[in-house]
Structure 1
C-alpha cells in the first residue's frame, strides 16, 4: 500500500462510502473503487464487505486503519519538517567567534538574522582566534569568525572583509583631534597592551620596531573588551583591529586609523553541514550589512 492508496483507504474508512471519499479526494468514483480492489488483491485479504451496495469494513481493515492513521500522522509531520527546512524554519545555526566579535559584532548580526529567520535556532559561542578553524573543521560549529593578519590568509578561510589596526583613545586625548595616529606620537607609558593573539601581536611588532620593548609599568590584558574599557576610564590608549570596535559602545572613545597601515582580515571558516548552508548565507549577509552600516571612525 503506497501513500496514495493509504489516503484513499483512510478516507473511505473515515467517510463511510466510496462516493463521499471520491468527492473529498476529487476523484472519480470508479477510480476509488478500482484502487480499493487493487489494494485488496495485493494485500491478500478483504478490506471491505459489499453488502447491498455498501462497503462494510472488515476486522482486518480496522487493524490496518489504526496503523495507517499513525503512519499518516508521521508522514504529515515529515512533510511539515521538509517544508520547514525548505524555508529555513528548522534546525540550528552554530556560530563561533572571537570574544571581541562575539560581544560586539555578532549581536547586531544575530538581531538581523532573527528578524529574517525567526524560527531558526541560533547558538553563539566565543573562542580564541587560533581555536576557531579547528572547531568548525571538527563539526562543532557551522560558521567560525576570526581576525587574522591579512598576510596569513589561506585558502580554507573565506575573507569577509579586510581592515586595519586602529588606535582607541579617550575623546579628551590630544591625539583624538587627529585624522590618524602614529606610533611615535603615542606615549609608551600610556599604551594598554593586548596579549590575546600571538599573530596580531607579531603583526604589531613587525610594523612597530619598539612595540615589544614595553615598560615594566605597562598595563596588559588578554581581552580586547577589557582594554577598551580601560581606555574609557582614561587609563591610556590601545591598538586593536577595527572589527573589534564594530558595535562597541562609542561613548567616551575616539577611534582613529593607525599609521603605517597594518592590514587585518575578518575571515570565516565554513562547516560541512548542508542543512545549515542557507542559514550561514543569511547570517553572513547580516554581518555584511552590519559592517556596511557601522564604521568605527
Structure 2
C-alpha cells in the first residue's frame, strides 16, 4: 500500500475531534460546518486505511488505532513546533538577537558585568542570559537554543566548537586569618584548616582531593556547598577558608577578605562553546571580544577599558 496522503486540514480535524470528543465541538474550534469535519475524517480514514472512530449510543468513540495515531501525531507536531522555534531563533539572531547560556560560575556575576559594559553599545539588540549547569549549557548550544555557551564541559565534544579558558585557583581567607600574612599558599598550608569545599563530583573538588591525598594533607571539612559564591559568603562570615576561582573571589576583595595565589595546579578550565554548523553573528563575535577583554583584565587584577 502506498504511503497515505495526509493533509494538515485532515490532521487538524482529527486532533480537534480527539480533544473535544465530538464533531460539533471540533467544528466550532475550526470555524467550519459539521459536515466539513465529517468529510475530513472520512478522507483521513480512507488515506490511512483504518477506522478512527466508532459510534456507540450516539457518541463517537476513538478506536485503539486512533489513540495510537493521535499519540504519534502529537509527538510529531511537537517536533514541528520545536523546528518552528528554531527558525524563529535563527531569524531573531540575524536581526540582532543573542542568547547566552552559562554555568553559575560565570552566569551569576562575571557575565552580567560584561553585559553591563556591552549592552550600551548595542541598544537595539535583544540579549538573553540564562544560567544552568554545564550539562544543560552544552545541550543548549548543540540544539542551538543558545548561540554562545560557557561550561565546564564540551572541550572534546565534536558537536560544538570550543575555546578553552584556564583559571588559576586562589585561596580566600578572612582578613585576620594567620595565613593572610603569607604571599601565597600551598597544599600544606591547608592542613588542619577548616576548608569549605564543593560537592564531590565538582571537577575542582576532585582535582584538589587528589592532590591533598597525594601530599598527605588533611584539612578539616565540615561545610560543603554547590557554588563558589556560597563558599565565599561563608568565608566572609568567618566559617573557614576556601579554594576558589579568581572571578568569584574578586567580588569579595573589598569585603575585608584576603585573596592569595594558590600554588597547586587544579587545572580549572571552562569552555566557550558555539554551534559547529552555525556561523556566529556579528553580535556574538562582538560579545566574545568584550568577554575576552574583561577576562584578561580580571586575571591581571586590573579594570577593563571603559569600566
Pick aligned residue for 2:139 from 128, 134, 137? 134
Tell me how far apart the structure 2 counterparts of residues 114 and 292 of structure 1 sit (CA, whole Å): 19
What pairs up with 1:93-104 in 2 under 5 angstroms? 93-104=98-109
Secondary structure of 2:169's aligned partner: strand
- Offset of residue 157 of structure 1: 4.9
CA separation in 1, counterparts of 2:173 and 2:239?
Answer: 9
Whichever of the two has the greater Rg, that structure is: 1
Which residue matches 1:231?
235
TM-score, structure 2 as length reference: 0.59
Structure 1 residues 290, 170: closer, same or farther in 2, change over 3 A?
Answer: same
Give yes or no for contact 2:186–2:262 (8 Å, CA) kept in 1.
Answer: yes
Give the Cα–Cα distance (whole angstroms) in 2 for the partners of residues 213 and 104 of structure 1: 31
**Structure 1 unaligned residues grouped into runs of 5+:** 1-84
Distance 1:168 1:162 in 2: 19
Q: Is the 8 A contact 2:191 2:217 kept in 1?
A: no
Change (3 A) 1:199 1:250: same
Point out which structure has higher relative CO (alpha carbons under 8 A, 6+ apart): 1
Give the gaps of 5 or more residues in structure 2: 1-90, 302-307
Q: Normalising by the residue count of structure 1, what TM-score does the alignment of the two structures yield?
A: 0.61
Q: How does 1:131-210 map to 2 (within 5 A)?
A: 131-147=136-152, 153-154=155-156, 156-195=160-199, 197-209=201-213
TM-superposed deviation, 1:93: 0.8
Measure the CA separation in 1 of the matches of 2:176 and 2:300: 17
Structure-2 residue corresponding to 1:111? 116
TM alignment of 1:48-67, pairs within 5 A: none
8 A contact 1:247–1:294 mirrored in 2: no
Question: Do the aligned residues in 1 keep the contact of 2:168 with 2:246 (CA within 8 Å)?
Answer: yes
Conserved? CA contact 1:142–1:272, under 8 Å = no
The Cα of 1:292 is off from its aligned counterpart by 2.5
| Separation (CA, whole Å) in 1 of partners of 2:251 and 2:144 | 28
Q: Distance in 1 between matches of 2:184 and 2:109?
A: 23
1:198-240 superposed Cα distances (whole Å, 9 cap, x missing partner)? 322222222221799775x611111211111111111111112
RMSD: 3.0
Aligned residues of 1:96 and 1:144 also touching (Cα < 8 A): yes
The number of residues matched between the two structures is: 207
User: Does the CA-based 8 Å contact 1:192-1:237 persist in structure 2?
Assistant: yes
Structure 2 CA distance for partners of 1:292 and 1:137, relative to 1, 3 Å = same
Does 1:125 pair with 2:127? no
Contact 2:247 2:298 in 1 (8 A): no
